[in-house]
Amino acid sequence: MLAEIFFMTKFLRCLTLVLYMLLPSYRSAAQIAPLIANISSRQTTSLDGQWQAIVDPYDVGAFDYRAQPLKNKNAFYKNYKPQSESELVEYDFDTSGQLQVPGDWNTQRESLLLYEGSVWYKRSFDYAKSPKRRLFVHFGACNYFAAVYLNGEELGAHEGGFTPFDFEITDRVRAHDNFLVLRVNNTRGKDQVPTVNTDWWNYGGITRPVTLVEVPETFVQHYFIQMEKGSTHQIKGWLQLSGRQPQQNVAVRIPEAGLSKVFQTDARGRAEFTFSANLILWSPENPKLYNVEIAAETDQVTDRIGFRSIEVRGTDILLNGNPIFLRGTSLHEEAPLRASRAWSDDDARTLLGWVKELGCNFVRLAHYPHNEAILRMADQMGLMVWAEVPVYWTIQWENPQTLHNAENQLNEMIARDHNRAALIIYSVANETPISDARNRFLRQLIQDAHSADPTRLVSGALQAHEVAAGNRLTIHIDDPIAVDLDVLGNNEYIGWYVHRPEDADSIDWISQYGKPMIMSEFGGDALFGYHGEAHTRWTEEYQENLYEHQIVMLKRISFLRGMTPWILKDFRSPRRPLPRFEDYFNRKGLVSDHGEKKKAFYVLQKFYRGLQSVQPPK
């Protein structure tokens, strides 16, 4: 029922969703199940691989020629086969070709590179479920909207291309010939998050792993275990059981530290706890992870968790109580050597390997929640992380459904990653135009982030404005939303979109907020291997020169506590049509889309290596 709503006329859709929002929890229990944490440590069966696929640009699999939702054999989710030579059925998954899952569809077929619309996926499977066990189907992400069906019945739907969701199929799965069908649609919409305009490729599809997860009748559904805000020796957290035995004794154990604490869950299956712990703290220099066991009477889960504190004091960012400088780079979720969506451990290891080689201790995962693999890899490799929701450019600030969507994506991102020590900052916005409606929208997200996870910092990539005085330029950080942020982020393109690279030498920055700032973007394009004068656009020398002058300017900003230049690697963008130099790639990478390092890579590496041996610049 829900799936068809999203494809009804906009008004009906908005009306229905506003009504939906008035429901106590907008995602009714019957539809999306509460997110199961830490899938990889559960009993799982992967459904990854080749899936049957039907490309359906006119949604004939969902609506009849009167745009009425289909419910009969013609609905593709029925996977109906003609019962006789004379019966008319105009679709057939099994002769319609295949697509690899996980993976975007755009780079799997030339004909789909720019495709925006619906694609139907079908995966058949047998499953021998053990009695007294529950079964869920979990999706790492599907871009942008996914309607999900099992054995011809609707399971539910999910909106948002970068966060996980799951459905319970315990009473729906059968031993043989199950068919799981998804309709995935990446059509852009003004009221969506992100909206219609982005400087990244609108990769569509089932872009992250699909997993069957079998758990006991009452299982450890979720937990949050981190150092209490501002503490390096007090753990604070909660855990949530799901099932018919909510009240249990649950042990939280850290065997390596000789820690074992038992808590009672209440009638809702929830326990909140705090206890002191003398642990080796996680840091980039020593990314210490502990095996943490959450053992209920009916289920046990083990996770690899690091413990550290992160906070601000004046213009300083403190990791484990010590001031730090965040030596970073920005990154899109594109695979290192194939310009398509990244999703795997190997993708993460290669990308973060380049980040480490640059001399970084920090990475901005832009502009949307990246896959879980790269968060866990950052935990292991000792890289602090800025994670972001795609509230990007001109969102519909007045639209309550859009706000709800953004809140949902934020909550899902936090729910998936809040046990990762590497994750230190949530960002709620990128280059959003100042207005009262926008401020209200962002304040709501900032509040949501702080209440969902009081242990981490909240930021946003703002845009400042310039004031000229004589031959000097001063840039003022004066965005009103800065009052609500813990850390200020700022994007600037001095030397590329505005001014000349060398003008940075005489630009000053001031902020009235007394807070730390991260220069969340700066940079310029260069085509790897194209060489010339330092003032010749697109050459490596131009980018090199730009970075040299940027570093001079950045060093002079007294409240600067980090930087994530734009960007580690060239990436696909539909906004970049210039032949020879762009060819639908944004070329601001320090590394090309073939993994080749440009001259500016070494300028930044030299600066970061220099910083590694000294305290943050005053």
In the complex, the smallest distance separating the C-beta of residue 491 from ligand GCU, rounded to whole angstroms, is 5
Q: Listing from the earlier edge strand, what are the strands of the sheet with 300-305?
A: 259-264, 249-254, 290-295, 300-305
Dihedral angle sign, alpha carbons of residues 464, 468, 469, 471:
positive
Among 207, 361, 430, 543, binds ligand GCU (CB under 6 A): 430
Cβ–Cβ < 8 Å for 453, 418: yes
For 89, 173, 213, 252, 616, the CA distances from 136, given in Å and listed in that order, are 31, 10, 5, 25, 47
Of 303 and 521, CB closest to ligand GCU: 521
Whole-angstrom distance, CA of residue 157 vs CA of residue 486: 34
Among 186, 309, 419, 586, binds ligand GCU (CB under 6 A): 586
Of 411 and 490, CB closest to ligand GCU: 490
Of 115 and 393, CB closest to ligand GCU: 393
Among 566, 585, 607, 608, binds ligand GCU (CB under 6 A): 566
Whole-angstrom distance, CA of residue 21 vs CA of residue 412: 17
Residue 199 is a binding residue for ligand GCU (CB under 6 A): yes
Residue 588 is a binding residue for ligand GCU (CB under 6 A): yes
Among 166, 311, 407, 431, binds ligand GCU (CB under 6 A): 431
**422: helix, strand or coil:** coil
Instruction: Print the binding letters for residues 506-535 with ligand GCU: x by CB under 6 A, - otherwise.
Output: ---------------x--------------
Spell 379-416 as b/e; 16+ CB within 10 A means b: bbbbbbbbbbbbbbbebbbebebbbbbbbbbbbbbbbb
Dihedral angle sign, alpha carbons of residues 211, 212, 216, 221:
positive
Of 179 and 493, CB closest to ligand GCU: 493
Backbone angles phi, psi at 91, to 5 degrees: -150, 155
Residue 548 is a binding residue for ligand GCU (CB under 6 A): no
Of 301 and 406, CB closest to ligand GCU: 406
Whole-angstrom distance, CA of residue 433 vs CA of residue 395: 9
Residue number of the CB atom closest to ligand GCU: 199
In the complex, the smallest distance separating the C-beta of residue 231 from ligand GCU, rounded to whole angstroms, is 35
**How many residues interact with ligand GCU (rule CB under 6 A)?**
9
In the complex, the smallest distance separating the C-beta of residue 431 from ligand GCU, rounded to whole angstroms, is 5
In the complex, the smallest distance separating the C-beta of residue 194 from ligand GCU, rounded to whole angstroms, is 10
Of 198 and 419, CB closest to ligand GCU: 198
Cβ–Cβ < 8 Å for 409, 390: yes
In the window 444-503, what residues touch ligand GCU (CB under 6 A)? 491
In the complex, the smallest distance separating the C-beta of residue 434 from ligand GCU, rounded to whole angstroms, is 16
For 8, 314, 329, 537, the CA distances from 15, given in Å and listed in that order, are 11, 45, 42, 50
Mode of pairing for the β-strands spanning 472-477 and 465-469: antiparallel
Positions touching ligand GCU (CB under 6 A) are 199, 367, 430-431, 491, 521, 566, 586, 588
